[in-house]
Structures are given as structure tokens and as C-alpha cells.
Amino acid sequence: MSRTFKLLTLLMVLAMVLAACPASAPAAPAAEAPAAADATAAPEPEAPAASEDVITLEFWHAMSGNLNELVDELTARFNESQDGIVVNATFQGSYDDNYNALLASFETGGEPNIIQNFDIASQTMFDTGRLLPAYEMGDLEGFDFDIFVPAVRDFYSDENGMVAMAFNSSTPILYYNVDMFAAAGVEMPEGSMNFTEFRALCDEIMAADVAPYCFTFGQVGWYFEQILANSGGLYFNENNGRTGRATEAVFNSEKGVEVFTFLTDLIKDGYAPNLSSTWTETDSTFQTQQAAFMIDSTSDVSIIQNSEFAVKTAFIPHADSSDRNGVVIGGAALWLIDSGDAAINQASWDFMKFMAQPEQQITWHTGSGYFPVRTDLADNPELQAFWAENPNFVTAIEQLGTTKTMLDDGNVNYAVLGGRAGPFPAIRQIVVQAYSRVLDDGLSAQEALDEAVEKANEELSNYNSFFQ
Amino acid sequence: MNQAVSTSISQPTPAQRAALARRRTLWRAIEGYLYLAPTLIGLAVFVFWPIVESFKLSLNRIAPFGNQQIFVGLGNYTRLLTSSDYWNSVRVTLLFVLGTVPTGIILSVLLAILLAYPLGKMASVHRTLIFVPVVISSAVAGVLFRWLYHPVVGYINYWLVSLGLFDSMGDAPNWLASTQWALFAVIVATTWRQLGFNVIIALAGVQNIDSSFYDAAKVDGANAWQRIRHVTLPLLSPTLFFLFIINVIYSFQAFGEIHILTAGGPGQATTTMVYSIFYDAFVGTPQRGIASAQAYMLALMVVFMSFVQFAGINRRVHYQ
């Protein structure tokens, strides 16, 4: 009994330790699993012998819930529109998951033909060397990239033109509870508030005691980036990494500290609850009427405006020390992964063009809140009628449309072009941790950002060392 | 050929018989390995090969898309040992293990002793209720607890305020968003979900104890507590030892609850070693080399702990 039991226990330990290793240890093999599964599941292009002309494409995206259904609808529409190409759309999880699945698939094979990749992954996408820039495909057939909203076009461009196909673009906006504002006797000002006006508004709402909190926001990196850009502050050196490879983060500037102080003080002073890093708890706080307004992506308009109370939308705030600059394009774009086969690349390109066509963009915009990426939709009668009924969808379009892309001195306003750096996804996470350094560990905003910049610079030099 | 046939028909010589026996033993050995082959091949492909591969990864700095590796020898390991973030993850892991393992085992033994005395037909209902959390996936449990812990609309703080312990929701602890409480909150959620499994094992152990021991103790005049202290616990020690080892390893590897509840935050307050591996390998910009090095450090630590456990505690375990 004794010996058997010892032996069994020892075996169990060994089994668990060993089992632990593949689960947690070798990062790469674990990541291979989904990619490899996809590769085997995907029917080979030449598999259906009867119709040898059919090309099957793999399209990976990161749209969940109602957005996932929309993507499936658009993909089905494409598949029905012609006979030669079948697109398989696969939901891969969050933007981060999708991005990491792609990077893993480059190591193991089984990469998709088209991938929806988020804003801040741009530099890495260039660096993979596996990308087929959109301008190369477009130039072959004289595709006109000027149909896209300039801010979107510029965001996804390098010196040769657009590298990715615009698809789902978003910006953050303020959502406010109209009933609560009326009860408190306050009005949301037109345009963008500065920090002082913002706090004054909150003082009135708190004094009226209509809700436990005035405002609510998740401590994600995106809002800091956006409000910093709106205040004209840069994130990286080399003009936000737009005129050269970024080597240093610069968001611990005076402007950055002003923005970060504002955000952390909202929590410290009791205007906003401390919800840590989240995209969902803010919605539950706002929709259960525990806070009078919040900041969230425009991509959720269609859901949030269906709250039990009236909801309106407004521009995000900016620093006292500067005028409003505008917002950086968020969301994601479609990237073409070079398959090495001209016919397949052409098919992928056809699908990307299809997704940017007016009909698809209208379905997409009205179903989600991501704004239409085409300029020619501004006076589309169908959308005009929709906007008249749903003014909340217009805020994001106007917020972007009035973004100051040129400075008064005639130079490009790099702040609103947004940062571009290889390890941006990791740096965003570092900023998330800076919140806790202020709120829990009592550091000043300056100290927390200095520390974050130091870590960010380490990430940058580590990443850049592969490209020298 | 003919000759061979004729000899095999005739009576075998002793030498032939020995050869036959040798062949049979040889075949038996091969046969054994053939039965093992499916498992061995599976282990080789999915366990042993990745173990070797990840060791190679741990000696390199790897570009995010793997097309470039820079050999750094033990550089990743020295970088870890000099990083305050790494030591923080070690500290958090040890606190997490200390928080989950003893409480989990004590609670499960108490519950097992209670459940061992069945209250008529309710016994199976009680056992089912306690086992249910095990069946729930850690992700679902995480989402449930996120709601319970919500600082503004969560039930836990609502109850605490209703009970008059706090004046308002704002005064009650911010379970997941403050570094002070986050680890505790995660420990509670993990212990809750793991409890059912522990109780089942402990219950089997308790029920395995022969009633003659209790009868003998009763004859000697032992009261209920003395029977638990001097009969149940010693005879339960092999089970406790098993639970202890399983729980320590499980806690070292806990991931689901942490990922859903706090994602390692706020700051790095709940970043355990396993979470840090995941974070470096899959979040933000992947750094597979340093993540693999951390995985090796963790594996070493778990193996070391297991040896300590066997050497140190095994002597006190009383086998029946």
C-alpha cells in the first residue's frame, strides 16, 4: 500500500510537471496549435477537383459578438457575388490574439491570406516582410486611394502610398446620459471641453447628486494616447515614428504629464470609479446609471444608444494648455499577406476592395458605429436619412473630419497621425500599469510616466536591434 | 529450407528450446513497447520535443515574427534574475500558493468530515453542490466573480453596505482594482473553484478509514474531537499529502481566474510566474525567448518543491 501510493503520487507529480511544460513553457508550440489546425482544416485550393478554378482564401479577424455577425454577413455577400473565390472568415479573438496568431503562423506556416490587424500593429506588419502593400496591387489597376477619408489614408500610408486597405476605423467619443444631465440642470458643451471645463461640469453633476459618479473610463492605453494627441502631444520621437524608426518614447513630456494627471485625478478625486483596465465594466457602470458620462469607442454606438435612457455623444476633451487638435484613427485595417501566388494575391485584393465598397461600408457603419472610410459616402442619401435619425453616429465622423491634420505653420501635425513603433502593443500595456503606480503606489504622474518611458525605451531598443 | 522445416517438426533440442524462449522474451519486450507506443509517441511530439525546443528558445532573443534569432546564451536568465518585475512575479506566486493551498485543504477536510456523516437523502445533494464549481470552466467562474467584485454595481460590496459594514459602495474595498485587495480576491475565487475537487478526494480518504478504528477509539473513551484528531487525521495523511502536492502544483500553474479577473493587474499585483510567461509570450509584442526562460525557471522551481515535499513531509505521512 505504502509503496504503491508513493509511486502513484510521484508519477502524478511527474505527469503534472511535464504536462505543465507544454501548457505554459514553450510559448511557440502552444501558439502553433490554432494556426496548424487552421492549416489542416483549410481546404487546399486545388482540393475541389470539379471546380479547379475556385480559390479559397483565409480571412482572420478580431470582431466579436454582433460585429462578428456583420463580418460573416459581408463575407457571405462577397462569396455570393462571384464564383471564382470562396473566403473563409475566422474569428481569432481579440486584436492582440489575432496579431499574435499571425506572428506565430509566420513561424509555422498556415498564415491567412487577409488579416484584420489593429492600428498600432502597423510597424510590425511592415517589418515582417511578408506583407504585400495595398499600393502595389492598386497601382497595377489604377485603383484610386483618394476615395478614402484623408486621415484614414494617411494613417495607413508610408512614403509610397497606402499599405493596408481601410476597413473599420474608430475613434473614442464621450457618451452621456441625457436624462441625468437634464436632472442635474447641465448641458454638454458643443465641441471639445478642456480639462478645467470638464472638471467644472463634473462638479455640477456631483453637486446635483444624480449619480454616485460623474464619469467612468477604463484604464486602457488608448484613451491616454487619444487625449494626448487631442492636446497636440507626441508619443514617440522621430515625429511619432513617422519620419524615421522611433527609438524613444516621449509621452512623459509636460503635455503627457498634464493628460495623465487629469485622468488619474478623476479617480483620486472621486469623479470616476477605479475600474482598473477594462472595456466592459465602464459600460455596466454607465448603463446601470452609476455614472453620468463615459468615454468609449464609437464602434459601440449601436449598442450603447439602446440603453434604457436617452444617450447622446460628444467630442473627447483636451488639455488646458493647448487647443483641440483632434483624434488619431483607431480600429483596424485589412492587410494582404503575400502568398507567393499572383492569382491568390489578386483574389485577396478583390476581396479587400469589395469590403471597402459603398454598400458594404454602409452596412458596416450603420450596424456598428465604425465610421465609413470613404469620402463619397458623405452625401449618400441612404446614410443622410440614417444620420438624421441617428445623430449619435455623426459625432465620430465630425470629430475626425475637424481634426487638425496641418499645423498653423503649414507643417504636418504628427500628433494626430498617431504613434508608429514596432513594440507599440507592449508599450500600451506599460502605460496601463502606470495607472496603478499612481493610484496604488502613490507616485506622481511625472514619476509614473518617467518609469513607463524607461520601460518603453527598453522595448524599443530590444525590438529595433533586429533591424540594424 | 527443407531442413529447417524438418527440424522444426522433429523434437526441439535444448539449444533450440532456449532460442525459442529467448525469442519469446524478446517479443514480449517488444510487445510491451508496442502497447506503450501510442502514448510514447504522443508524449514525444507534444511534450518532450517542445521541452527541448523551448530550451533552445530560452537561449535566444527572438524577433516578434520569428524570422530572426540572436543567440544570447544565458542572457535571458541573467536578465530575469536582475529584473525586479521577475522577482515580483515570484513573490506574487508564492503568496498565491500560500493563500490557496492551506485554506483549500483545511476547508476541504472539514467539509469532507461533515459530508462523511450523511444527513439522509440530502448527502448527495450536498456533495453535488460542493462539486459544481469544478465543472464550471475557469473563464466562466472568472466572469461571475468579476460581476460579484464590481466596485460600483457588484453584489459583494452591495451586501457589505447592506450589512452596515460600509457607508457606501465607494468606501467598500475595490476588490480587483486596488493592489491591496486584488491578489486576495483572486485567491478567494481560485480556492472556491478548486474546493470541490479537494473535497471529493478528501471524502474518499475519510470514507476509506475502517470503522473498526473508530469503534476501538470509542471503547477507549475518545470523544468526537479526539477521534478526528487521533484517528481521522493520521489515517488521512496519505490523502492530505496527495492533496498538498496536487494543490501546490495547481496553484503554481493557475491561469484562468487571473487572466479573466485582473489580467495580472492592477500594476503587477497579480502577475504570477505563469501569467508573466503568458504576458511575455502572447501579449503586446511577443518575446518568446525570455518567456521560455521563465518557463524553465518555473519548471525547475516546481520540481525542486516536489523533491522538498517528498523528502521533508513524506516521513510524517502514516500509511495504513
pLDDT of residue A6: 57
**Does residue B266 have a cis bond before it (omega within 30 degrees)?**
yes
Q: What would the pLDDT profile of B97-121 be if each residue is shown by its tens digit? A: 999 999 999 999 998 888 877 666 7
Can you identify the CATH homologous superfamily of domain B77-316? MetI-like (1.10.3720.10)
Q: What was the pLDDT predicted at B253?
A: 86
Question: What is the model's pLDDT at position A225?
Answer: 94
The band of A20, judged by pLDDT with boundaries at 50, 70 and 90, is very low
Closest partner residue to A24 (CB to CB) among B63, B298, B303 is B298
A212's CB contacts (< 8 A; 6+ apart) are A273, A290, A291, B152, B168, B169, B170
Higher model confidence: residue B215 or residue A21? B215
| Mean pLDDT (chain A, rounded) | 84
Q: How far is A401 from chain B (nearest CA, A)?
A: 30
What is the average pLDDT across B224-232? 83
Confidence check: pLDDT of A111 > 50: yes
- Confidence band for B207, pLDDT divided at 50, 70 and 90: confident
* Lowest model confidence (mean pLDDT) among A41-45, B171-175, B177-181, B185-189: A41-45
- Gap between the terminal Cα atoms of chain B: 62
Stated as kind and residue range, the H or E segment containing A377 is: none
| B278 vs A: CB within 8 A | yes
* Chain A residue at shortest CA distance from B301: A17
pLDDT at site A32: 36
Quick one: cell of A327? Answer: 483624434
For chain A, the straight-line distance linking the first and the last C-alpha, in angstroms and rounded, comes to: 64
Q: For residue A365, give how far its alpha carbon lies from the nearest alpha carbon of chain B (Å).
A: 28
Pairwise CB contact (< 8 Å): A273 & B63? no
* Cα B161 to Cα A374: distance, rounded to the nearest angstrom: 52
Helix (H, G, I), strand (E, B) or coil at A176: strand
pLDDT, one tens digit per residue, over A22-44 is: 333 333 333 333 333 344 444 44
Are the CB atoms for B54 and B296 separated by under 8 Å? yes
Min Cα separation B283/chain A (Å): 7
Residue for cell digits 503575400? A338
- Partners of A25 on chain B (C-beta within 8 Å) are 50-51, 54, 277, 292, 295-296, 298-299
And the C-alpha cell for A421? 513603433
Interface contact B319, partner A, CB < 8 A: yes
Nearest CA in chain A to B300: A17
Considering only CB atoms, A290 lies closest to which of B50, B152, B291, namely: B152
Under the banding of pLDDT at 50, 70 and 90, the label for residue A11 is low
Where in the sequence of chain B do the CATH 1.10.3720.10 domains occur? 77-316
Residues of chain B found within 8 Å of residue A427, distances taken between Cβ atoms: 284
Least confident interval from A5-14, A149-158, B123-132: A5-14
Tens digits of residue pLDDT in A126-157: 888 888 999 988 888 888 888 888 888 888 88
Residue A425 has pLDDT above 60, yes or no: yes
Domain ranges of chain A: 40-170+330-385, 172-326+408-467
Q: Superfamily for A40-170+330-385?
A: Periplasmic binding protein-like II (3.40.190.10)
Contact between residue A352 and residue A255 where contact means Cβ atoms under 8 Å apart: no
User: Residue A430 above 80 pLDDT?
Assistant: yes
pLDDT band at A52 (very low <50, low <70, confident <90, very high): low
Q: Do A422 and B238 touch (CB under 8 A)?
A: no
Cell of A417: 497621425
pLDDT score at A64: 86
pLDDT at residue A3, rounded to an integer:
55
C-alpha cell at A329: 484613427
pLDDT at B6 over 60: no
CA distance A179 to A177: 6
Q: Is the pLDDT of residue B248 over 80?
A: yes
Identity of the residue in B153, B169, B281 whose CB atom sits nearest the CB atom of A27: B281
* Separation of alpha carbons A430 and A424, rounded Å: 10
B95 close to A (CB below 8 A): no
Q: Which of A9-18, A371-380, B231-240 has the lowest mean pLDDT?
A: A9-18
Q: Is B70 on the interface with A (CB under 8 A)?
A: yes
* A5-35 burial code (b ≥16 CB/10 A, e <16): bbeebeeebeebbbebbbebbbbbbbbbebb
User: What residues of chain A, 126 to 145, have a C-beta less than 8 Å from chain B?
Assistant: 127-130
- pLDDT at A252 (0 to 100): 94
Give the pLDDT confidence of B136-167 residue by residue, as tens digits.
888 888 889 998 998 888 899 999 998 988 88
A172-326+408-467 matches A40-170+330-385 in CATH topology: yes
Q: What is the pLDDT of residue A37?
A: 39
Q: The pTM is what?
A: 0.82
| Closest residue in chain B to residue A125, using alpha carbons only | B65
- Residue A436 is predicted with a pLDDT of 92
Smallest CA–CA distance, residue B51 to chain A, in Å, is 7
pLDDT of residue B185: 93
Which DSSP helix (H) or strand (E) runs through A291? Answer: strand A291-297
Strand runs (DSSP E) across A182-254, as ranges?
Answer: 213-216
What are the C-alpha distances in Å from A102 to residues A88, A89, A428, B281? 16, 14, 19, 13
pLDDT at position B17 is 85
Does B288 contact A at CB distance below 8 Å? Answer: yes
**DSSP letter (8 states) at residue A188:** P
Contact (Cβ atoms closer than 8 angstroms) between residue B1 and residue B7: no
Helix (H) or strand (E) holding A407: none
The answer, yes or no, to whether residue A12 has pLDDT greater than 70, is no
A246, pLDDT greater than 50: yes
pLDDT tops 80 at residue A429: yes
Best mutation target among B65, B79, B243, B298 (most A Cβ atoms within 10 Å) is: B65
Lowest mean pLDDT across A265-279, A336-350, B159-173:
B159-173
Chain B touched by A110 (CB under 8 Å) = no
- How far apart are the CA of B292 and the nearest CA of chain A, in angstroms? 6
Distance (Å) from the C-alpha of residue A10 to the closest C-alpha of chain B?
Answer: 9
Q: Tell whether B301 lies on the interface with A, counting CB pairs under 8 A.
A: no
Average pLDDT over residues A208-226: 93
Q: Is B54 on the interface with A (CB under 8 A)?
A: yes
Q: What is the structure's pLDDT at A7?
A: 54
Residue from the list B70, B245, B282 with its beta carbon closest to the beta carbon of A27: B282
pLDDT at position B66: 66
A436 to chain B, closest Cα gap in Å: 5
Would you state the pLDDT for residue A272?
93
Residue A335 is predicted with a pLDDT of 92
Model confidence at A312, in pLDDT bands (50, 70, 90)?
A: very high
CB pairs under 8 A between A and B: 208
Least trusted range by pLDDT, from A124-138, B46-60, B75-89, B110-124: B110-124
Give dist(CA A152, CA A373) in Å, integer.
7
pLDDT of residue A50: 43
Q: Looking at residue B186, what is its pLDDT?
A: 94
Q: Please answer yes or no on whether B246 and A16 come within 8 Å at the CB atom.
A: yes
Query: What CATH architecture applies to the domain A172-326+408-467?
Result: 3-Layer(aba) Sandwich (3.40)
Lowest-confidence region among A368-372, A445-449, B180-184 = A368-372
Answer whether A31 touches B (CB < 8 Å).
Answer: yes
**What is the pLDDT confidence band of residue B9, given thresholds at 50, 70 and 90?**
low
